[in-house]
Amino acid sequence: MDKSTRVCIDKIIGQSPPPYVASQEMQTRLRGFDEPLRAAIVWQKKWPAGRPLTVRFLEGDPNIQNKVKEMAMDWTNYGNVKFQFVNDKQDADIQIAFQQGAGSWSYIGTDANTIDPGEPTMNFGWFDADTPDKELSRTTKHEFGHALGLIHEHQNPADGIKWNKEAVYKELSGPPNNWPRDTIDHNMFQRYSKTITQYTDVDPQSVMMYFIPAEWTIDHKSYGENVFDLSDTDRKFIKDQYR
């Protein structure tokens, strides 16, 4: 597995994010609308549909900020979702930092409103002037998916991944990740409760899915490479959740 690529880290209220990881996220592949809808959202953390979500940059290169704005707005094309970018003197629902080396992460949905003004609710830890547009698109749309309440797809209650757990432990417990087994269990194998989520079958191509190499599964199935945009199922799901 290419460890030069990167993965999003969940940010949970009351917990620090796990150590920075240098492994690739799951990508999306475009799929037809006639295929089954697959995604997962924490229903208690959805914002009211149609309510403009204010977004504030706490720092960062203006050129990168403009690209983040452009990429994030794609979500607004498929549901009753609105982002309103405000100046740096205003408090906002979503507050974005670019802290290098801190990974990329976002609080889930309305959890962001529990964070103090001026503190980040989302971070892009590897964006710089040399970041390709496809990486900006992939990571921005993933993190804004979290900001809308979406969870990592591999933690969907329906599951569907046939994990080779020992292979995952071996990979992620070594450099550069150095995760202990309980961190691996929490971030890779633990699924969200069915009582707090709205979900369907696992979508192996969702923008919210990690990249999972074939050696991590007992059926040697890999998931989600080399696509950097929302899938059709992501679009349909967000439209259904934000009417």
The residue ranges of every structural domain in the chain are: 8-241
pLDDT of 201 > 60? The answer is no
Report pLDDT for 53.
Answer: 97
Return the percentage of the chain with pLDDT > 90, whole number.
35
Q: Which one is the CATH code of 8-241: 3.30.365.10, 3.40.50.280, 3.40.50.2000, 3.40.390.10? A: 3.40.390.10
Report pLDDT for 25.
Answer: 32
Strands 8-11 and 104-107: parallel
Report pLDDT for 15.
Answer: 45
Return the percentage of the chain with pLDDT > 70, whole number.
68
Mean pLDDT over residues 87-114, rounded? 88
Query: Mean pLDDT over all residues of the chain?
Result: 75
CA distances from 108 to 9, 93, 158, 187 (A): 11, 12, 19, 15
How many Cβ atoms are within 10 Å of 176's Cβ, its own excluded? 12
**Which 8-state DSSP code applies to residue 35?**
S
Q: In angstroms, how far is the first alpha carbon of the chain from the final one?
A: 39
- Both tokens of residue 188? 């890779």
Q: Exposed/middle/buried for 105, CB within 10 Å: 0-12, 13-18, 19+?
A: buried
Q: What is the pLDDT of residues 17-37, one digit of tens each?
A: 433 332 333 222 222 222 233
Report pLDDT for 8.
Answer: 54
pTM above 0.75, yes or no: no
Q: What is the largest CA-CA distance in the chain?
A: 52
